[in-house]
Structure 1
């Protein structure tokens, strides 16, 4: 230790006053016995001049390891300044020393009277003092002073020994902690290495993207999400926070520029999925802590595995494209072979011949037809469907039972890739592939209806277009259309034997005049008004809007036509030709 540097500054940790196992504590007990003192203590000076008491024996609670002696005060300062022991028979009454209120208060509280203090010298520099304390007034003999001085020299040796032991214990604890951290790191690296091996086996074995992402997420103890360049989710193990602000988008782009994992937000990381210079998407990880070195490397390996799967899917789609295109063209033209042969062709390229499917006709509204075709090819392959470019349109066959929902998803994803809106007409669901040609004609008519209705960039199926869709559909379900437009009113009339449907028909025939309708029905105008209020509650508040009104009137006309046809069917046949 450097001369003048306090023992406490060299790493000596203050010990409890009751630490009877310490060599210094043993020395203090010997000092009390040999000098006949009531208490003994060691005070060590810090670099700022303040002294503290790490070891004490027989002292009251007023002086403990937390007690501090101000600099340049008391008998300790005098002993250290002179480099020789000092004593007093009555400390509080002795004016040779600089008194401080705090130290005097502690001395008074402990009942201290006589005090002997020998400096602790190391290489000629004082690092503290050794105290002997009596609670009665007394004098110290020269022999006792020499003994205290000798014990002070021993105390310095013991303090050095104690400090060395403490340093050794601290180094040992640090080594044990480092060994523990290395052990945890080693286990983590082995765990991720095994997971990497599983990922490699899965990719080479033809596992799909979702299975690979689930294994990776489990290894990383987090949530994983894979997005394509347009932001569409290709696979996910859970919800990941949306990051749509400008700074997040800049960080997202930074992940691709840096070709490494980039933090997007607290606990959210992104790593690019690339094949050479081509950007294929992004892997996003959400975990509960920091991304360690091995975790970051594994996440990069996950992105490489994802890239390999996407490239293999695309290459497989390219290889199978002639077979897929030939099948779709046959389906669209209606020139299908036998059901058995059709099923075999579909299964050969991964298409379910018996599952429900929908047909879409797309029109990108911002050009970039080539880019749209490439995207549609990848999307159809990944979903287990087909695609075919047809002039300015792209036709698609996709598994699903809700044509409107499938159309919205395709329009959203493709629009984000192109940066332009995409109009989509949809039809379905179809049971079996033989209905593909009919559904394709209906989807195309829906797309053309959207364009004619000035709804470019929207999506719609025949059901979404209301009565217009009824006219466009080849399988016109009149009963379903009537039910969708007038169902609650028809049910109300049937259950209560009312005439709301008749009132509604007369109301429209009277140019929506309640007064003229009342005259036609031979009831009071208030009766018509109450019936119309009831109709409004049954059909909803928008029933008087132009589009709804047109559908209701068309449904009423269809209902009247059905009634007329039923009455004609029930009429008795006329007499047959006279027999001769």
Structure 2
């Protein structure tokens, strides 16, 4: 007991027992062994606590793994320790301590191979006294080659678990055959448990840092986007227009920017890149939102499905510039919409001023000059008023080559054109749209222009009534049909019709027999009875009866060629007048 009190080693106590056998010597030896075990356990616990503290302060995944294997090797007194992580279906060895070669690091093992497979699949410790001759698991060439290079024999492995999930495994190895005691398994398992939590914490922190970095980047991007939006919105609110917006885009991006409405408007500064720019423009026009090559980024500008143009940024393709173009495009579309709305409002106002001038001419000189000025006309100039009807718009009319000072307006389904001219014949060739157009003679002043407008309207009405669609004519070009433009002439036409054809119209109204139509068709067919009967859809005898009735009512003198021609012209004019209306 004195030796025990003097802290004699177990070897000294064993020698004393052999020299002086007895119960006290045996008791002292057992007590020494128990004290050594408790001292070892105390040392291990202290080491585990120390490791736990250090693991909680580790922030680098690789440093943390290295700390774990170094401590495992020291605490278990083994030759080699290594650890790896589970990635999907593989186990990858990542760090070693005490390795003779670097061959172990980076080895990938399937989860059904070697001792690793037993540990990962079973989620529990496992060991073998001699790895190289162990028949209990499948050996593979790569792992066995590394094991031989390290002369692995006794091998203990424990899983690194977080909850029910195995995230890796920790191994302790001797280069001689060796069994592992339960206390060693428990010690390595405790170390693995600390390591698993620490590793998961580090990885969680790393994931959090990645998320924070992404969030910071997105926040910075959002702040940048908001700043761009504020800048571009201010330009729009101040009425800066598309040109100012494009210059702002160039300033914000630090690179040239252009807005193109068609492929032919490529600026001179892009002369060397005309073909690529035209290709990118075509792709945007065909529906692509944003396209780029090595030196140009092109972004489609559209509103309500309508293609408006392409915003071009000159320089390498990058996400920052793409984002800026994304923010600029709505502002440009809005500015274009505002410009269009303003232009449309101005156009409608001028249309209204011209229609007001031509429909309600002022009665005083001052009011007349104001009306002319608002309508865009010069008080001292003469104008031919043209009225166009048909499948035509002011845009199509505007493409024609009219002289400076021409004013175009829309009024209902018709387009009005006031052309500075001294002769209507000069104006006629200017209309090439295929519309039906009536042109007045030159007029000056509000009252005269209003009369010219009525003349042009009546002319186009007559052309349409006569079926002369697509024709361009002045009143003089109507020939005998010009009579239809005069109210007095039309009254005289009524009197003449009653005088010459009154009895026929009365009989027709009384009996319901189309005598006027029969006479008109008969004369139109050159007095051929069979052709006339066929055209009317009656028997030739019926036609003879109708002609006899006409002779009886207005006399047979209508058969005279000159008289027949007069009646034919009269009926045609009467029919046209009826179509025009009283």
TM-score range, shorter chain: 0.3 to 0.5
Relative to the length of structure 2, the TM-score reads: 0.44
Relative to the length of structure 1, the TM-score reads: 0.44
Q: Which has the larger radius of gyration?
A: 2
Name the one with the larger helix percent: 2
